[in-house]
Amino acid sequence: MRRSVRRKTNSRWWRRLGGWLYVLPALAAYLLVVIIPTAQSVWYSFWNWSGVGAATWAGLGNYIAFFTDPQLMQALQHTLVFVVFYSILPIVLGLVSAALVSRSRVRGAGVFRTIIFLPQVLTSVVIVVMWNELFGSNGLVNSALEAVGLGSLAQPWLGSFQWALPVLGLAGTWTTMGLCMLLFVAGVGNIPAELYDAARVDGAGAVREFFTVTLPGLMPQLAVALTLTVIGALRVFDLVWLTTHGGPGDATITPSLLLYQTAFTNGSVGGAAAIGVSLAIVSTLIALGIVAISDRRTA
């Protein structure tokens, strides 16, 4: 009796273990491409290696070199500027417009939604072509300036030490503002209507309603928008590489560009791995940090 029960549970356990067959294809691809290279990145980062020949132990040398690199300070400053353009500006625009749009409950929002979300499906190279046409020497912005008699302000924007960074930042704003707005519009839809009714009964105007009902109700969406856009700002590569290569000088260099240059121009594989590991840690911390803060706010 007992034995047959055990045999039965045993065979069930075996059958459940057989379920691993379902996981194997995905797991194999995932281990090969993501998990093993992640471990290798950490391992590489402790070695001096040029990609060919023998490697020598570096200890924390690559990390020290990266964190004391004067270019890193510049790259981080540029990342902060990008955070303003990729993250803060779109979120503020998105919040205000979502609040106003949901208040008015406009119809026919479907077409607008389709248009406003469009930049999310465009690849960065296409955006680069657009930005070149807008801000190049013969671009539309310069033509417009000349047309209104401000030709003296016309310049090659992407070649300017002063303007290249904010002009690239605007491309980020253009890409993420629709995402933020739609995220917040969806979030406002989840806020119970009673909260708004109660606020109106209390005589709250549009501004007070925004700060007492809408904003607290949007904390989860705000966390998501912040995480996505801040990490997006930290990882900018395509846009800068294809327009300015980080220049003029180092005026638009970013951490991802430093990684690429370190690995493939300077031939320091260990150094590049150390940058990659640092970037991975920082973006994970940003994601976890923002989630933790928003959880405490909503709890």
What contacts 226, CB < 8 A, 6 or more positions away?
A: 87, 91, 290
What contacts 295, CB < 8 A, 6 or more positions away?
A: none
From the list 228, 233, 240, 253, which residue makes contact with another protein (rule: CB under 8 A)?
A: 228
Q: What are the tokens at 182?
A: 């739609």
From the list 154, 279, 289, 293, which residue makes contact with another protein (rule: CB under 8 A)?
A: 279
SS3 for 254?
Answer: coil
Q: What are the tokens at 293?
A: 């803060």
Q: How far is the CB of 30 from another protein (least distance, A)?
A: 4
Instruction: Pick the closer one to another protein by CB: 39 or 153.
Output: 39
Tell me which residues in 57-116 interact with another protein (CB under 8 A): 97, 100-101, 103-106, 109, 112-116
* Owner of token pair 């194997």: 24
257 contributes a contact to another protein by CB under 8 A: no
CA distance 265 to 256: 13
Instruction: Pick the closer one to another protein by CB: 2 or 105.
Output: 105
Q: What are the tokens at 159?
A: 């070649």
133 contributes a contact to another protein by CB under 8 A: yes
Taking CB under 8 A as the binding criterion, the range among 59-67, 127-135, 150-158, 208-216 that sits at the site for another protein is: 127-135
> What H or E segment, with its residue span, contains residue 248?
none
Q: How far is the CB of 296 from another protein (least distance, A)?
A: 18
Strand partners, 57: 47
Tell me which residues in 197-226 interact with another protein (CB under 8 A): 220-221, 224
Q: How far is the CB of 80 from another protein (least distance, A)?
A: 18
From the list 4, 123, 152, 265, which residue makes contact with another protein (rule: CB under 8 A)?
A: 123
Instruction: Pick the closer one to another protein by CB: 165 or 223.
Output: 223
Does residue 116 contact residue 178 with C-beta atoms inside 8 Å? yes
Tell me which residues in 163-182 interact with another protein (CB under 8 A): 174, 177-179, 181-182
| String of contacts with another protein for each residue 2-31, x by CB under 8 A | -----------x-xxxxxx-xx-xxx-xx-
What contacts 259, CB < 8 A, 6 or more positions away?
A: 272, 275, 276, 279
* Owner of token pair 């990729």: 86
256 contributes a contact to another protein by CB under 8 A: yes
Instruction: Pick the closer one to another protein by CB: 1 or 52.
Output: 52
CA 52-71-270 angle, 5° bins: 25
Measured CA to CA in angstroms, residue 264 lies from 51, 102, 150, 221, 257 at distances of 9, 49, 43, 38, 10
Tell me which residues in 134-163 interact with another protein (CB under 8 A): 134, 136, 138-140
Instruction: Pick the closer one to another protein by CB: 165 or 271.
Output: 271
From the list 61, 81, 84, 132, which residue makes contact with another protein (rule: CB under 8 A)?
A: 132
